[in-house]
Structure formats: C-alpha cells, structure tokens
Amino acid sequence: MSGHSNYVPKTGFERWLDARLPVARLAYDSLIDFPTPKNLNYWYTFGGILALCLGIQLATGIVLAMHYVPHVDYAFASIERIMRDVNYGWLIRYMHSNGASMFFIAVYAHMFRGLYYGSYKAPRELLWILGCVIYLLMMATAFMGYVLPWGQMSFHGAVVITNLFGALPIIGESITTWLWGGFAVDNATLNRFFSLHYLMPFMIAGVVILHVWALHVTGNNNPTGVHVQSKADTVPFHPYYTVKDGFAIAVFMLMFAAFVFFSPNALGHPDNYIPANPLVTPAHIVPEWYFLPFYAILRAVPDKLMGVLLMFGAIAVLFILPWLDTSRVRSLRYRPTTRMYFFIFVVACFVLGFCGGKLPDEHVIPGLKTFQLIDADLNSMVWLSRFATAYYFAYFLIVLPVMGLSEAPLDQPKSISEPVLSPSAALPAGAAASPEKRG
Amino acid sequence: MLRKGLAIAALGLALVGGPALAAGSQKEPRTVAWSFSGPFGKFDRAQLQRGFKVYREVCAACHSMNLMSFRNLGQKGGPFYDPKYPNPNDNPYVKTIAKEYEVSDIDPETGDVVKRPATPADRFPNPYPNEAAARAGNGGALPPDFSTLSKARKGGADYVYSLMTGYGTPPAGLEVPSGQYYNPYMLGDVSAFWKGEGYAPKGGFIAMPPQLTPDKVTFDDDTKSTISQQAKDVAAFMAWASEPKLEERKAFGVGAMIYLTILAGLLYVSYRRIWRNVAH
C-alpha cells in the first residue's frame, strides 16, 4: 500500500487479475513481502493476536445471534438454551464471553507496548489514534454485549452506565431517555443494545483495516525506536513474522483455552446467572474486570459530573498523547528516568483496577484506622484511587511533556542492525558520560 | 520477554479478577473435595441420583427448576444416563420418573385445560403457579429457581453445601427476627440486629428454615443418610443442573490443551529454524 511493490504475477490468470483488481498484489505486499524490522520482540505479537481475537468474536458472535432471543422475558433462558441444548453451544458461548476478556488482555498489552516504545510518536500519530478509536469501539461493544444475557449484573450495570450520561447538564436527561428508548432500562434498551452489539464489531473491523493501512505506510516501529535505514534492518513479514506471531498466538490460545474449558466463569460475576430483576439491586455492582480502572476513576471524584468527565478524559488523553510527549526519542529504552515513571504508571493502572473492584470505603490495609481526610479515611480505597488517578493524568499531562524537554536521553544506535551486529557499539562507553547529546 | 508478559498478565488478572467478586459479609464456604472439580473432574453418577432424590423429596416442594426437562436426567452426563438409550426420551428410568408428575395441557378435542402425566420432553413442573403464590406460601420470601443457582453464587457447590449444613444456634446477642433464621454463609448484614460485644457476626438471615435432618431421605444405594451427605449430594446435583455439559467441556479441554501444546512446540521449532541465520 505504500507504493513500491515487488509482486510479480506468475500465471496468466494472476496477470489478468492484476491488471483489473490487484488484490493478490495487495495481499503480497502487506502480508508476505512487507519489510519488517528484524528486532521486534514478543510484545509486538499482540497485533496478530488481536486480529485473531476479533475473528473469534465475530465468528462465535454470528452463531450466537442465530440462537439468542433479544427480549427481556426470553434472553436469559435463550442463553442457557444455547449452553444446554445447542450442539457445542457451551463452547461457542464460553469462547465468546471469555474471548472478550482475552481481547482486552491483548489490547492492554498492545497499548502498553505502544506507550513504552513510543509507537504513537511521529510519523505514527494517526496509527495510534485509529488504535484508540478501535479501543473505544471495543469498550462500547463489550459493555453492550455484557447486557445481552439479561442477568442481574447485565441489567444493573446497564442502569449505572447509562445513568452516567444523566450527569451532563441540560441535555443529560434527554440523552438517557434517548439511549434507553423509554424511561427505564427495558426491552427497548435490550433490543437496541443487541442491534448495536452486532453492528460495532464490523465498525471495528473497518477501523482495523485503516489501522493496518496506516501501519503499512509508516512501517513498524521497533524496540530501538530508530527508523529502518536499509534492507539490512528488515526481514520479509513472511515467513519470519508469520511464524513468530504464530507461536505467540498458540501460547495465547493455551491461556484462552484454559479459561474456556476449565474455568469459564472465573472472569465473570456469579450474579449474572440470576435473571435480571429491576426490583432487587445486587449488593455490589461491579463492571467486568477490563473496565475496573475507569470505574475507579469515576468513583474517585465526589461530584458525579466531574467523575464522568474525568473517566472519559482518561481515554480522551490517549488521543492527544502524540503531542503531549515532547521527546525526540521514541523508545523508553533510551530514556531511563521516563522509563521509571512509565513503570509507576503501569502500577497505577493496576492499582486503579484493584480499587475499582472494591467498595470505596473498604480499608486498603485491613483494620488500620488512620484519620479522616476531607470525606473519607485516608486508608480507604477511595483515597488510593484518587492518588492513582492523579498519577494517571500526571503521567500524560506533566511527566511526558516535561521529561521530553528536560531528560537527557542515552545514545541511540545509528540503526537497528548496529546493536545486533556489533554489541559493543550498542552501549558505547561514553553513553552515560555524554548525556547532553540528544538522539 | 513473553514469559514476563504472561506473568504480568496473570498478576494483573489475579489482582483485578479476584477482588471483582469481593465484598459483602458472609463466611467463606467450606471446601468439599468434589468429584467434578479439577481439569479431569467428572460427576459421580450415584451422587447425582441421590442428589436428585433429595431435590425431589425435600427442595422441590418450594424450589422450581424451570430450565430442566425430565429428558435432561437421561442425557449424556446426567444422573440416569444409560448408553443403551442414546436418546434420553427412550430411557425407561426417565419415562417412569416423568410419569409420576402431572402437567397441564390443552385437550385438542375440547380445548379444555386438562392434567396429564408428564413425558421426558416436559419441563420440571413449578411448585407454584406464579411468583405471588410462591411468596405467599413462604412468608413473603421467594424460593430461588435452582436451574442456574449453583453458578449464581460465589463458591458454587461449596456454598450450597455450607449453607445447608451451616444452620445452628445463633450467636448470643443476635436478635433473630421472627420467620427468619441466621446462617453464617448467607450473604447479608445483621449489624442492625446485633446487641453483643464488638463487630456483628458474618452472615445473614434466611427465610428458609433448616431443611435437612438425618434419614430424611432414604438413599436407594444404602449410603448413610446424614445431613452432610444429603447436602453434598444435592449440591452436586445442583452443580450438574447448572453446568450439564461440564464433563463434555473438560474432556474437550484436555484434548484442546494437548493439541495447542504440540502446535506451540512445532511453531517454536519452526521459528528457531527460520530465524537461525538472522542476527536479531
């Protein structure tokens, strides 16, 4: 797609096709001949894993939709019918429900990799933003999918999340009514969620095409962050990366299969096997694990509107990230101070996820009573999530802009091949001694 | 690098997945060594039959099982599965059990509502005609449906077993409201009824009185009918009813894991071979 092509049609048919619709050329250029940096590590295999996840969700989802009944009176029983009476329905349904979790594990690994190696930096800003769009669509799709079984968590989760829009001034109430298709979460809501849950994966697939297209224009980033200089820096995608990605996919599938076959409900909530009842609220409404960090940010703020804005802000900040990071060096390999802040950022994300699953008043260190700080005990989940939220935003809004200007990076290799071919050149003795030289 | 990645992913799940199920005041259920736990677990057929008997003679008076049909009892993995009858509707045990129940039907000649003996294709009849009747018969409380109950509670079969055997004298200082029973394994909050020292005990009130007594159910295989045995058997039966395809799933899973391990091994060898001449 990036212009130059090494494709040579071999048969008469291929020449005929190539002159009319060069799909074979497209496939050859993007999947076989595509020159890829030869130093990609296993963190770079999550793109392929994600493509597989999307394929699995689409395939299983289309079959599930053949048996599912989107109606408040029948949805729960129809899911159980799939599990009990449809041939291998249990397999299809558990692959789909656990597949959502696997999709998010892979996407989070993919995003942390992008953050670490600076894959969002020029010229890959659009590539990164398209990825953020995919992530946003994934979250909407996963949320609506979780509502479809119409269990207790489905229903009350839908109530909590749709009510968030009610916090917006003036238009909030009209928006929630519009989302619900009525004055409460009910059959109309379930029907539209089913419709949108079926539509959105295809929108994701569309943006994935753009994402891959953008990738093939700029080419892969790599762990050094240094541009490809010559042919010596790259290998053809096939067979080098098809086999490496293939191995990673097989290992990932082992983990996926362990959940599907031996612990299919471990990542869900038991309350979702109770049919939805609007009159009985579960003791503790929690979203699926992949939303917990955002749930913690939402609850960290005492004001509902501010909480909602901050929660959406946590995703919005990713969109402007390419312009927040002021450093000219891509890879955090050569930015030791920022790298330290990055690892704290990863911990903060996990801490937010941990807090999101707990009650806000719960003690972080059990039994230890400290002192009341404004509205809650200091030793409480709500304060822990506040500190983590503050760090989350500070990383993007303070650390990255400031460190990019003030940190003296280590010397980068001149090319990808350099550290490979002459290990001594990769770590010059004077690297730390001459930090004023920016790469 | 990959191992590190997987370790981080596993750590993340352990951190995040666990607490998502947390909170609420109840005692951790006691763990039972179930025949169906673990990757090679299978249901104990005799236990399922005993459990069905407990359900039928004790629980079914109040608890429905709306998603279960009689045929399920004779399907592969079910309590009365017989390889001679691959179609459970032909299974004589199942037919006999079904015949002992009466279900409503419409007389095709007259259109009148009539009662007829059930067939294996019929659902388990609900003990109450509707929710209001169920509540009226149980002091306002609704006995939950058993079809998915085992997987709808944290702890699953362990929870059912612990709850059924967990009744006892309530701790001194706890004022139990009339028509309610204290059970430490029940999710709830009894602090408003606690007049004793320190924190209120874990657990909650349940409208169901203790149901199991020694020898309440006579087991056909001469198993000693203790409270613990009855509770274990009915918990196993409910676990099967919640996940009737558990055996098929785990057997399939063992094959899938072997296949994927071999595939991963072959791909790793291919990867090493293809990359052997590339410095990277």
Mutate to test the interface with A, among B6, B16, B254 (most CBs of A within 10 A): B16
Contact flag A247-B245 (C-beta cutoff 8 Å): no
pLDDT at A430: 42
The tokens of A401 are what? 């802009």
pLDDT at A81: 97
**Nearest beta carbon to residue B19 from set A42, A357, A421:** A357
pLDDT at A368: 79
The tokens of A109 are what? 């690994």
- Cα of B218 to nearest chain A Cα, Å: 30
pLDDT at B188: 87
**Nearest beta carbon to residue B245 from set A38, A90, A272:** A90
* Integer Cα distance of A427 and A410 in angstroms: 9
**Nearest beta carbon to residue B261 from set A43, A254, A354:** A254
pLDDT at A434: 42
Helix, strand or coil, per DSSP, at residue B198: coil
The model's pLDDT over B79-110, given as tens digits with 9 standing for 90+, comes to 999 999 999 999 999 999 999 999 999 999 99
144-163 of B, contacting A, C-beta below 8 A: 144, 147-149, 151-154, 156
Q: Are A356 and A392 in contact (CB under 8 A)?
A: no
Single out the residue of A91, A123, A176, A118 nearest to residue A403, CA to CA: A118
Whole-structure pTM value: 0.91
Please indicate if any CB of chain A lies within 8 Å of the CB of B215: no
Please give, one letter per residue, the 3-state secondary structure of chain A.
CCCCCCCCCCCHHHHHHHHHCCHHHHHHHHHHCCEEECCCCHHHHHHHHHHHHHHHHHHHHHHHHHHCCCCCCCHHHHHHHHHHCCCCHHHHHHHHHHHHHHHHHHHHHHHHHHHHCCCCCCCCHHHHHHHHHHHHHHHHHHHHHHHCCCEHHHHHHHHHHHHHHHHCCCCHHHHHHHHHCCCCCCHHHHHHHHHHHHHHHHHHHHHHHHHHHHHHHHCCCCCCCCCCCCHHHEEEHHHHHHHHHHHHHHHHHHHHHHHHHHCCCCCCCHHHHCECCCCCCCCCCCCCHHHHHHHHHHHHCCCHHHHHHHHHHHHHHHHCHHHHCCCCCCCHHHCHHHHHHHHHHHHHHHHHHHHHCCCCCCECCCCCCCCEECCEECCEHHHHHHHHHHHHHHHHHHHHHHHHHHCCCCCCCCCCHHHHHCHHHHCCCCCCCCCCCCC
Q: Which residues are bridge partners to B117 per DSSP?
A: B102
Q: What chain B residue is nearest to A93 in terms of C-alpha separation?
A: B249
Q: Among all chains, which residue has been given the structure tokens 């619900």?
A: A180
pLDDT at B18: 40
Sequence-separated (6 or more) residues with CB below 8 Å from residue B250: A261, A262, B39, B40, B41, B42
| C-beta pairs of B217-225 under 8 Å, 24+ apart in sequence | B217/B50, B217/B53, B217/B54, B217/B57, B217/B58, B219/B50, B219/B53, B220/B49, B220/B50, B220/B53, B221/B46, B221/B49, B221/B50, B223/B46, B223/B50
Chain A environment of B186 (Cβ under 8 Å): none
Kind and range of the H or E run holding B181? strand B181-183
pLDDT at A327: 95
* Overall size of chain B counted in residues: 280
Please indicate if any CB of chain A lies within 8 Å of the CB of B111: no
The tokens of B223 are what? 């198993």
439 residues of chain A, pLDDT tens digit each: 445 788 999 999 999 999 999 999 988 988 888 999 999 999 999 999 999 999 999 999 999 999 999 999 999 999 999 999 999 999 999 999 999 999 999 999 999 999 999 999 999 999 999 999 999 999 999 999 999 999 999 999 999 999 999 999 999 999 999 999 999 999 999 999 999 999 999 999 999 999 999 999 999 999 999 999 998 899 999 999 999 999 999 999 999 999 999 999 999 999 999 999 999 999 889 999 999 999 999 999 999 999 999 999 999 999 999 999 999 999 999 999 999 999 999 999 999 999 999 988 888 888 777 888 888 888 899 999 999 999 999 999 999 999 999 999 999 998 988 765 555 444 444 444 444 444 3
* Cis preceding-peptide flag for B171 (omega within 30 of 0): no
Q: Are B206 and B183 in contact (CB under 8 A)?
A: yes
* Integer Cα distance of A37 and A221 in angstroms: 8
Contact flag A358-B23 (C-beta cutoff 8 Å): yes
Mutate to test the interface with B, among A251, A255, A342, A420 (most CBs of B within 10 A): A251
Q: Are A344 and A424 in contact (CB under 8 A)?
A: no
Chain B environment of A271 (Cβ under 8 Å): 152
Across chain B, which has 280 residues, the per-10-residue mean pLDDT values are 48 43 70 95 96 97 96 95 95 96 94 96 95 94 96 96 95 92 92 89 93 95 95 98 97 97 98 90
Contact flag A289-B153 (C-beta cutoff 8 Å): no
Q: Are A293 and A393 in contact (CB under 8 A)?
A: no
* Integer Cα distance of A338 and A22 in angstroms: 45
Contact flag B260-A80 (C-beta cutoff 8 Å): no
Chain B environment of A333 (Cβ under 8 Å): none
Please indicate if any CB of chain A lies within 8 Å of the CB of B14: no
Helix, strand or coil, per DSSP, at residue B116: strand
- Cα of B191 to nearest chain A Cα, Å: 15
Chain B environment of A244 (Cβ under 8 Å): 271, 275
* Integer Cα distance of A25 and A5 in angstroms: 8
Please indicate if any CB of chain A lies within 8 Å of the CB of B23: yes
How far is residue A316 CA from its own chain's centroid?
Answer: 14
pLDDT at B42: 96
Kind and range of the H or E run holding B69? none
Q: What chain A residue is nearest to B22 in terms of C-alpha separation?
A: A358
Q: What are phi and psi of A147, to 5 degrees?
A: -75, -30
Q: Classify the phi-psi angles of A374: left when phi > 0, otherwise alpha if psi is within -120 to 50, otherwise beta.
A: left
